[in-house]
């Protein structure tokens, strides 16, 4: 028997003919469905396609868009972003993220229009990638929920309330000095990031959760490890459009243990929330609710969770998940932005010792050689220090981009951007525009001299965003950074063998140094100065 016989036999069998016809019919239906879907997508985004045709940008390919241009390591990704900014800036350029158009915007005038437009409040589909961990916290929530929660949480970040945390920030600064003592006078450099990160996490956790145990506590360590693994997964997902659909990413997540990561990530905040709710209920039973506090008790600092629970008691109706989402957003944003910025700033001062001397002289003139701790009035007077922090954030913005998805057409200087476009505000692009900052890759705190700043557009520097959805924690972060840096520099001088050209950048959700922050420290002996006294409690 040959193939021809079997084929004729199959066609003579009515059952085979039936199934073959059914398979063909299903195939035709799938092809027609995909064709209609594709035509519908093309029709719905016809205005975006017409707009994109006018904008320069790197090559794009079906399904994957421009992402071939950005393949490689997290270090390669930063290098290619910088190259894109230099090649096309300061005018807008485009990249296709899969089938989604992203418009890169760098000019301060255009940035101001976007960030202050009520149709540009949505952070877009890519921020939904974070929702597995952060749910609908301030950083990821859709506009209606964000407006409500922003109004609820704003009082926690006002100046008068933040000032109540000064004792915590001073305490953590002392702990940093004591922890660093083991590195004194070493001839080899060390990465200061681990020390700063430990203290930042403790400070943020204590002011948001009133949790002040050692960072080596198993549950907190597990929490931080899970946060790191989650951010690695999300960073990878952004560069792989085939993982954009949730159902595909969920399947992928099962093979990478994503559910276990979530479980460990939520365990720590869930436990603290449960304990705080119990404590709050006990206070109410004994007539120590917020309505019955004495004046002194009212003046005591309230952590973020206290504020949210009190608002719940007044009818806000935040669920346990809402509480966890907001706490996680604040902890992650706070610990990352503060830790990385302080480390970059210390490294810059180590490379530029003349600048370090000027910062120290300012601290000495304000605080003298007494043993007092930093006050709010001191931090206001740390003007040159603030210039150094801002110059660090200009050079190395921790969050190198701001994303907005337009709910309606928005007109900028030379274009009308159509509804549905994702606008990528490139901080690393704007902060390195030659016309704004001469020698943009050099460290120069004088860029933020008040006279120079007055001549620049206000959105020439946007490390904390601007407009309607700016960073709510800017003043909190600046206060903690000033207290930590001033205490550090009163006790130690910092040095390094690293040069500016040695610094390589990578993106792991936030922008970091590839090789860490390698420094050496020495006791500060040039003038009589305040010295921290360490004991078992703080060292």
Query: Which stretches of 368-512 are DSSP H helices?
Result: 376-381, 383-395, 427-430, 450-455, 474-491
Question: Per-residue pLDDT for 527 more than 60?
Answer: no
Q: What is the mean pLDDT of residues 269-293?
A: 71
DSSP 184-218: BT-SS-EETHHHHHHHHHHHHHHHHH---S-TT-H
Could you report the per-residue pLDDT of 125-175, keeping only the tens digit for each? 777 777 766 777 777 778 888 888 888 888 888 888 899 999 999 999 999
Share of the chain above pLDDT 90, in %: 38
Q: What are the tokens at 493?
A: 């001088």
- Residues 341, 398: Cα–Cα separation, whole Å: 7
pLDDT at 5: 46
Average pLDDT score, the chain = 83
DSSP 397-435: -SS-EEEEE-SS-EE-SS-EEPTTPEEEEEHHHHTT-TT
- Residues 432, 436: Cα–Cα separation, whole Å: 8
CB atoms within 10 A of CB 510: 19
Q: Which residue in 243, 296, 222 sits closest to 132, CA to CA?
A: 243
All residues at 6 or more sequence positions from 114 whose CB lies less than 8 Å from its CB, including other chains:
105, 120, 404, 410, 412, 423, 425, 467
Could you report the per-residue pLDDT of 402-454, keeping only the tens digit for each? 989 999 999 998 889 998 899 999 999 999 999 999 999 999 999 999 999 99
Among the ranges given (23-32, 91-100, 167-176, 511-520), the one the predictor scored with the smallest mean pLDDT = 23-32
pLDDT at 116: 94
Domains, the chain, ordered by start:
45-523 (1.10.630.10)
pLDDT band at 53 (very low <50, low <70, confident <90, very high): confident
């Amino acid at each position: 028997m040959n193939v021809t016989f079997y084929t004729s036999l199959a066609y003579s069998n009515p059952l085979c003919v039936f199934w073959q016809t059914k398979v063909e019919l299903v195939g035709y239906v799938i092809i027609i469905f995909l064709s209609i879907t594709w035509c519908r997508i093309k029709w719905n985004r016809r205005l975006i396609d017409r707009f994109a045709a006018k904008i320069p940008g790197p090559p794009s390919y079906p399904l994957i868009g421009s992402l071939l241009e950005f393949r490689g390591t997290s270090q390669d990704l930063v290098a290619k972003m910088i190259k894109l900014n230099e090649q096309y800036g300061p005018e807008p350029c485009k990249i296709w993220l899969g089938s989604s158009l992203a418009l890169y915007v760098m000019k301060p005038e255009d940035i101001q229009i976007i960030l202050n437009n009520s149709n540009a409040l949505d952070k877009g589909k890519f921020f939904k990638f974070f929702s597995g961990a952060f749910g609908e916290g301030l950083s990821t929530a859709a506009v209606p929920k964000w407006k409500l929660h922003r109004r609820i949480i704003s009082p926690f970040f006002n100046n008068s309330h933040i000032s109540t945390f000064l004792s915590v920030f001073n305490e953590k600064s002392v702990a940093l000095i004591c922890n660093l003592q083991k590195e004194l006078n070493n001839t080899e450099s060390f990465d200061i990031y681990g020390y700063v990160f430990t203290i930042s996490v403790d400070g943020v956790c204590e002011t948001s959760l009133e949790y002040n145990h050692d960072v080596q506590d198993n549950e907190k360590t597990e929490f931080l490890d899970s946060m790191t693994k989650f951010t690695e997964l999300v960073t990878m997902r952004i560069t792989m459009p085939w993982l954009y659909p949730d159902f595909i990413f969920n399947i992928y997540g099962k093979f990478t243990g994503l559910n276990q990561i979530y479980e460990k990530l939520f365990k720590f905040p869930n436990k603290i929330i449960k304990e705080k709710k119990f404590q709050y209920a006990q206070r109410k039973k004994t007539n120590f609710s917020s309505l019955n506090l004495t004046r002194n008790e009212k003046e005591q600092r309230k952590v973020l969770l206290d504020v949210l629970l009190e608002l719940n008691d007044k009818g806000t109706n935040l669920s346990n998940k809402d509480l966890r989402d907001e706490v996680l957003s604040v902890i992650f944003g706070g610990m990352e932005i503060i830790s990385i910025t302080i480390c970059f700033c210390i490294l810059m001062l180590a490379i530029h010792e003349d600048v370090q001397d000027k910062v120290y002289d300012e601290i000495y003139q304000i605080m003298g050689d007494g043993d007092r701790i930093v006050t709010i009035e001191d931090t206001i007077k740390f003007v040159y220090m603030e210039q150094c922090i801002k110059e660090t954030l200009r050079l190395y913005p921790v969050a190198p981009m701001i994303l907005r998805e337009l709910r309606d057409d928005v007109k900028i200087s030379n274009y009308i951007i159509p509804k549905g476009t994702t606008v990528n505000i490139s901080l690393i692009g704007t902060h390195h525009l030659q016309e704004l900052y001469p020698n943009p890759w050099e460290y120069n705190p004088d860029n933020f001299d008040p006279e120079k700043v007055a001549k620049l557009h206000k959105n020439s520097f946007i490390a904390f965003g601007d407009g309607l959805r700016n960073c709510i924690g800017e003043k909190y972060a600046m206060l903690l950074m000033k207290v930590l840096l001033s205490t550090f520099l009163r006790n130690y001088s910092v040095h390094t063998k690293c040069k500016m050209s040695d610094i390589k950048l990578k993106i792991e959700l936030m922008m970091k140094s590839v090789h860490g922050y390698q420094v050496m420290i020495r006791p500060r002996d040039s003038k009589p100065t305040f010295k921290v006294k360490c004991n078992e409690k703080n060292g």
